[in-house]
Amino acid sequence: MTLRFASERRFSTFLPAKGAPETKPIRRYSEVRRDPLTGRSGRVAHFEGFSLVAPDLSQVVEESRAGCPFCPERILKVTPLLPHAIAPGGRIQRGEAILFPNISPYDRQSVVVSLSREHFLSANQFTAAQLADGLLASIEYFRSLPKVGRGTHSVITWNYMPPAGATQVHAHFQAFSTNRPGWLLEEEVRRSRLFWRRHHHPYWQELADTEEASGERFVAGGRHTRWLTPFVSRSVVSEVLTLFPERAYLEELSSDEVAEFVAGLRVALAAFHEEGVRAFNLAFYGAPSQERTPHFWLHARVSPRIYFNPAIQGSDNTSWQHLLDEPFMVRSPEALAERLRDRFRPLFPLPRPK
């Protein structure tokens, strides 16, 4: 094994306030970590005394119903149409999922997928069919696009609820095809290539095997997926990483592989909802088109979003993340993995299928 999970504890000592019952110096620690692939740093800090408090978003939900463009009575009237060559009917529909062009596109090929007929579903209420149909409609869209040259990524993201950046309460994915998928994915691809050239096997294989052997951040493994918490998470309360072994592209996923991912996703979302999380981001990270070397594994991240203080809508996106580009965690990935293992065990009982 060649992966290095580098971390350094840093201690801070200070005196209690005047008049406090405790007079001895107080010692607190923070931790600086390095991601084993990209080398980027992240911090675990500010966690003593922290507890999640669920924000009340009921007013936002109710006020957003009037005029929602994704509700059944409006969606087919107000949403635009895809070119006939991609979708003869102008939209791709699977179950409750409806896919159509994004009127605020992220790139040349950019669509939205409304996931449900219901205007609002809490994170623990989505059915397996709703989530699977949304993903399969997106995959169908990518497969329908004209063939492109090397270097184009198929991307699916989900901003669930306004604290996670959603512009509509009605649940929806964004799906787009781009040769500029963002710094993180580009860096992961570059570093994965370098790892393959040096070690002649995928970084992601070694990550999965190393984490499963250590058990610190490994959550569960199924026939088609491996689940863990990243050593450096982008959510302040840590996040879930899903690996798809020997799959590089979203377009490769079968309905069985999507179904297994959705089953695990529902467990994770229910666990987050139970502790008070009311918003999250989801993204899939796929290889650029026509990669020749099997160095990259498709993966997805589910990243909870919170208010530090719901009473004043205190955002979890601070200067650390926004201006210094430094992930900041108040809950360690190890603590989240421990919380999730028992919830995943009925879904993926050990021993894991080989």
Mean pLDDT of 327-353: 90
Encode pLDDT of 190-230 as tens digits.
999 999 999 999 999 999 999 999 999 999 999 999 999 99
Indicate the domain borders of the chain: 58-344
Encode pLDDT of 265-304 as tens digits.
999 999 999 999 999 999 999 999 998 889 999 999 999 9
- pLDDT value for 309: 87
Nearest to 137 by CA among 173, 109, 88: 173
- pLDDT value for 208: 97
- pLDDT value for 328: 93
Q: Any idea which fold 58-344 has?
A: HIT family, subunit A (3.30.428)
Q: How far is CA 88 from CA 80, 144, 269, in A?
A: 13, 11, 35
Whether pLDDT at 353 is above 60: no
Reported confidence tier of residue 184, pLDDT bands at 50, 70, 90: very high
- pLDDT value for 351: 63
- pLDDT value for 349: 83
pTM for the full predicted model: 0.95
- In whole numbers, what is the pLDDT of the chain averaged over residues? 95
Encode pLDDT of 72-99 as tens digits.
999 999 999 999 999 999 999 999 999 9
Rounded to whole angstroms, how far apart are CA atoms 11 and 27?
7
Reported confidence tier of residue 50, pLDDT bands at 50, 70, 90: confident
Whether pLDDT at 139 is above 90: yes
Encode pLDDT of 148-157 as tens digits.
878 999 999 9
